[in-house]
Structure 1
Amino acid sequence: MGGGTSEIAVISLGGIVVNKSLRVAGDELDQEIVDYAKNKYNLLLGERTAEEIKFSIGNVIEYEGEAAHKALFRGRDLKSGLPRSIEISPAEIREALKVPVYSIIDAIKDAIEETPAELVSDILKNGITLAGGTSLLRGMDKLMSHELKVPVKVVPDPMTCVVRGCGIVLDDRDLLNKVRIR
């Protein structure tokens, strides 16, 4: 789950059995926050501010003590054109992110439904692994586990694991030949 796309794959014996690509990821979540501030507060937020909101108080499930985590953010008032600050709560961000997050979950459900039955038991046993910056959104793994009824974990260092894996493959010619798409 990166910035521009969420890639979903069921992998078995080193090969891709089912895959889906969804144009819903971090950038779309940021845009949902921008749209929420525009529609509710008549305030234009920048993309960087929306991303900061996403990672500072963004969440997809209610958590203990969230009411105390309101945050102050600045943008431009759409009526006056002047700078203005607003206080946004984690609950508001959760609501703003609901539709795109559930579209990712629905795509994962579709991938599981297309998976051969003998591999579904492996998914139940081994779970789902999340990578990419969007996987760092508070509660993403717990919400997915609840909705999909399978264990979900986030890889260590999800922001760089994909590019590091590519580097390992490029450094090992034999491994590159094994995974090359023909």
Structure 2
Amino acid sequence: MAVDIGIDLGTASILVYVKGKGVILKEPSVVAFDRDSNEVKAIGEEARLMLGRTPGNIIAVRPLRQGVISDYTVTEKMIKYFVQKALGRRTFQKPRISICVPSGVTEVERNAVQQATFAAGARDVYLIEEPVAAAIGAGIDISKACGNLIVDIGGGTTDVAVISLGGTVVSTSLKVAGDDFDEAIVRYMKKKHNLLIGDRTAEDIKIKIGTTYPLIENEAMEVSGRNLVTGLPKTVTVTSAETERALQGTSNQIIEAIISVLERTPPELSADILERGIMLTGGGAKLRGLEEMIEERTGINTMTAEEPTQVVAIGTGEYVELMSARREL
């Protein structure tokens, strides 16, 4: 039997959707390989644990930067590994794979994704834009002549798009997303506390106490890192009010992108968006305060999808079924 697979090829993590089973795999898009022998040592979660902790000859890399392929060979090996892991070894026919790309990618970048997927063992490859996949996965009927505004905040890119009649009417892709929130926290800790922390610690702060909007009750956590003055390990207490200040610049860029898309939206679709609201998807949508901040700045009701991290993968997988049903019609 031929199998349909949907892959959310993200900068931070890869999700694999198999028809009839749902999302069966979610792992970080990290590959660790030996620089001397060029041999892959680990992929996914195992490789992520090695980030920043490897000896000189073993390097852990993210082969995707800002939603596009930065290392073709490593990406091909990674896709192959995840497809085999999702299907098991017993496949008689090559799978049909639909894979998502950010809305602003160039033709060269699209071809790179397509070629890497074919090389990983696909029979057919369908490319789908992230906001369209997110809308399908969030349960929105995109085939209707009705405007829907989707904001997909991933690890490397934020895609903002108005979707109607199964396609994108107005869109923008911003190379600012979850990773930039982490970097903003790293910069703030350096500047305010003279403390150098790693990306994993910054992500931890973002998940536990991070916010872009004032919380009713201020939260705090202890953070350890290296003191930039003495060079010795040091622990400081960080509050959620501080993370709000740290994340202000990055969250403002996302809101400006949403406003620029709304300014270019045809008036009929603007009326639909005002009625239906803005839908947030992607891992970055889990950051507290984003909904309230967008709502305050745009005046439009904003909500987050039920499983924000999975909707793109689900939509990518369901896209093949949607296309074949359309062809039959």
Secondary structure, counterpart of 1:10 in structure 2: strand
Residue type of the partner of 2:255? I
Match of 1:46 in 2: 198
Matched, 1:2 2:154: yes
Residue type of the partner of 1:166? T
Pairs aligned (count): 176
Give the structure with the higher percent strand: 2
RMSD of aligned alpha carbons: 1.5
Matched, 1:116 2:266: yes
Residue type of the partner of 1:140? L
Matched, 1:87 2:237: yes
Hey, what's the Cα distance between the residues in 1 that align with 2:223 and 2:285? 23
Residue of structure 2 aligned with 1:143, choices 288, 293, 296: 293
Residue of structure 1 aligned with 2:225, choices 68, 71, 75: 75
Shift of the alpha carbon at 1:80? 2.1
Residue type of the partner of 1:152? T
Residue type of the partner of 1:59? T
Match of 2:33 in 1: none
Match of 2:316 in 1: 166
Contact 1:169 1:175 (C-alpha < 8 Å) held by counterparts: no
Hey, what's the Cα distance between the residues in 2 that align with 1:175 and 1:8? 27
1:38-79, Cα deviation, whole Å (9 max, x unpaired): 11111111101001100110001112112xx11101111112
Residue type of the partner of 1:123? I
Contact 1:59 1:94 (C-alpha < 8 Å) held by counterparts: yes
Matched-pair identity in %: 40
Superposed, 1:17-36 pairs within 5 Å as: 17-36=169-188
Matched, 1:12 2:164: yes
Contact 1:170 1:176 (C-alpha < 8 Å) held by counterparts: no
Unaligned stretches of 5+ residues in structure 1: none
Unaligned stretches of 5+ residues in structure 2: 1-152
Contact 1:37 1:45 (C-alpha < 8 Å) held by counterparts: yes
1:19-49, Cα deviation, whole Å (9 max, x unpaired): 0000110000100000000111111111010
Closer/same/farther in 2, CA of residues 62 and 6 from structure 1, 3 Å limit: same
Contact 1:75 1:84 (C-alpha < 8 Å) held by counterparts: yes
Residue type of the partner of 2:208? S
Closer/same/farther in 2, CA of residues 163 and 43 from structure 1, 3 Å limit: same
Runs of 4+ in 1 over 6 A off after TM superposition: none
Hey, what's the Cα distance between the residues in 1 that align with 2:163 and 2:203? 31
Residue of structure 1 aligned with 2:208, choices 53, 56, 60: 56
Match of 2:217 in 1: 65
Shift of the alpha carbon at 1:120? 0.3
Closer/same/farther in 2, CA of residues 25 and 63 from structure 1, 3 Å limit: same
Give the structure with the higher percent helix: 1
Secondary structure, counterpart of 2:204 in structure 1: helix
Residue of structure 1 aligned with 2:252, choices 102, 116, 121: 102
Match of 2:306 in 1: 156
Closer/same/farther in 2, CA of residues 172 and 18 from structure 1, 3 Å limit: closer
Contact 1:169 1:176 (C-alpha < 8 Å) held by counterparts: no
Q: TM-score, normalised by structure 2?
A: 0.52
Hey, what's the Cα distance between the residues in 2 that align with 1:85 and 1:176? 58
Secondary structure, counterpart of 1:73 in structure 2: strand
Q: TM-score, normalised by structure 1?
A: 0.92
Shift of the alpha carbon at 1:110? 0.3
